[in-house]
């Protein structure tokens, strides 16, 4: 059995010398190296920005979407959308564990969710069996590789698998909210009605306390009503996050000209950077969880309007993020019922 690099560089075909995520092509041969795990894949949870782009490009035609997904994997050896650059995550069953994989407690037959992006995960799809247009999940007959540095979670037995997959896919977002938001803060969550938004709203409401505010800007009237019904915000605005000045005017009606302490951007469309930045107070913080974010637009745009704000790239990993997110599902009856409706 060949020896593998802990970061998976032995799988990089093009260009040599880089890591698997930025690589153009990976080796997706499923013969494992000594420190890898082989997974029989059940379901892919495609990143929201990626799924939205594929769905739009294919006119929501499942046959065309299947062809596009298969062509991406065939070309790249991984599920990395060439337009958005993003991936997603997966659930599956452990097929084999290399003798030098760091955690030998992981056993053949364990059901796991990978907590690293599909954009760096070697993947070989034999067949797409179903595409769910409403929740970004794609059922497959496939295999994948987890590197020695790869994060994963054994699926909990008290939650449905696809519900856990949906929640863990965005676990980094509520975990960052937990870190960033303080008691008494004014927080705005842009794109608060999707799965990451709902989880962020819950955690923000827990953190701000009675004197704080959680403002949601949501494009969908249905999703906005969902937030109201679940009591997950103090203020809910239906609006288009790409309409910068409308968002600014309506949010500052609530906050005053000072703006928000923390802004969380969860949208899956482009050109919402400046809406997030303008409503943030000087020395406040914007967390861009969305993979549709242009960080050049954000950096140069903030400079252009004289905004001194901290901008955080949406790292999908934070220590303890999986446990925190699954606990939200367990604690909130309303969110659990919503996720069961959408994902099970």
Task: State the residue for tokens 């364990």.
Answer: 110
Averaged confidence pLDDT in the chain: 96
314 pLDDT tier (thresholds 50, 70, 90)? confident
pLDDT digits (tens, 9 = 90+) for 89-123: 999 999 999 999 999 999 999 999 999 999 999 99
Domain-wise residue ranges, the chain: 9-155, 171-343
> According to the model, what pLDDT value does residue 334 have?
97
- CB of 125 within 8 A of CB of 140? yes
The DSSP annotation for 259-324 comes to -EEEEEE--SSSS-HHHHHHTEEEEEEEEE--TT--HHHHHHHHHHTT---EEEE--S--TTHHHH
Residue 1 has pLDDT above 90, yes or no: no
Name every residue whose Cβ is closer than 8 Å to that of residue 31 and which is 6 or more positions away in sequence: none
291 pLDDT tier (thresholds 50, 70, 90)? confident
pLDDT digits (tens, 9 = 90+) for 252-274: 999 999 999 999 999 988 899 99
Residue 344 has pLDDT above 90, yes or no: no
- CB of 59 within 8 A of CB of 102? no
> According to the model, what pLDDT value does residue 326 have?
97
Separation in Å, CA 92 to CA 242, 272, 308:
37, 34, 44
- CB of 119 within 8 A of CB of 87? yes
Residue 188 has pLDDT above 90, yes or no: yes
239 pLDDT tier (thresholds 50, 70, 90)? very high
Per CATH, the homologous superfamily of domain 171-343 is NAD(P)-binding Rossmann-like Domain (3.40.50.720)
pTM: 0.87
Name every residue whose Cβ is closer than 8 Å to that of residue 22 and which is 6 or more positions away in sequence: none
Residue 327 has pLDDT above 90, yes or no: yes
> According to the model, what pLDDT value does residue 151 have?
94
Report percent pLDDT > 70 for the chain. 100
280-288: strand order across its sheet: 235-238, 213-218, 186-190, 260-265, 280-288, 310-313
Name every residue whose Cβ is closer than 8 Å to that of residue 276 and which is 6 or more positions away in sequence: 188, 190, 241, 263, 265, 286, 288, 298
86 pLDDT tier (thresholds 50, 70, 90)? very high
pLDDT digits (tens, 9 = 90+) for 42-81: 999 999 999 999 999 999 999 999 999 999 999 999 999 9
Looking at the DSSP bridge assignments, the partners of residue 14 are: 25
pLDDT digits (tens, 9 = 90+) for 17-48: 999 999 999 999 999 999 999 999 999 999 99
> According to the model, what pLDDT value does residue 214 have?
98
308 pLDDT tier (thresholds 50, 70, 90)? very high
């Amino acid at each position: 059995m060949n020896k593998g690099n802990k970061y998976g560089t032995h799988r990089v075909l093009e260009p040599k010398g880089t890591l698997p995520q930025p690589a153009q092509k990976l080796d997706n041969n499923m013969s494992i190296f000594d420190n890898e795990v082989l997974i029989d894949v059940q379901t892919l949870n495609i990143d929201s920005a990626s799924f939205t782009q594929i769905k739009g490009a294919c006119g929501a035609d499942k046959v065309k979407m299947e062809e596009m997904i298969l062509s991406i994997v065939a070309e790249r050896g991984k599920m990395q959308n060439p337009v958005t650059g993003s991936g997603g995550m997966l659930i599956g069953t452990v097929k084999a564990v290399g003798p030098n994989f760091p955690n030998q407690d992981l056993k053949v037959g364990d059901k796991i969710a990978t907590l690293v992006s599909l954009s760096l995960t070697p993947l070989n799809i034999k067949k797409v069996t179903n595409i769910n247009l409403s929740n970004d999940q794609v059922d497959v007959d496939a295999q994948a590789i987890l590197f020695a540095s790869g994060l994963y979670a054994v699926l909990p037995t008290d939650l449905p698998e696809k519900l856990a997959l949906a929640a863990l896919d965005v676990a980094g977002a509520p975990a960052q909210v937990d870190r960033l938001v303080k008691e008494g803060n004014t927080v705005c969550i842009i794109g608060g009605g999707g799965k990451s938004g709902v989880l962020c709203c819950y955690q923000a409401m827990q953190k701000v306390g009675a004197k704080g505010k959680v403002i949601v800007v949501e494009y969908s009237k249905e999703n906005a009503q969902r937030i109201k019904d679940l009591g997950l915000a103090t203020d809910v605005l239906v609006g288009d996050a790409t309409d910068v000045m409308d968002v600014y005017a309506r949010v500052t009606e609530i906050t005053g000209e000072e703006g928000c302490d923390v802004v969380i951007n969860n949208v899956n469309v482009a050109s919402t950077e400046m809406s997030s930045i303008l409503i943030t107070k000087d020395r406040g913080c914007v967390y861009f969880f969305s993979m549709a974010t242009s960080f050049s637009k954000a950096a140069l745009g903030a400079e252009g309007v004289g905004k001194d704000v901290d901008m955080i790239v949406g790292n999908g990993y934070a220590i303890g993020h999986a446990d925190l997110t699954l606990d939200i599902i367990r604690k909130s009856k309303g969110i659990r019922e919503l996720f069961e409706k959408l994902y099970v």
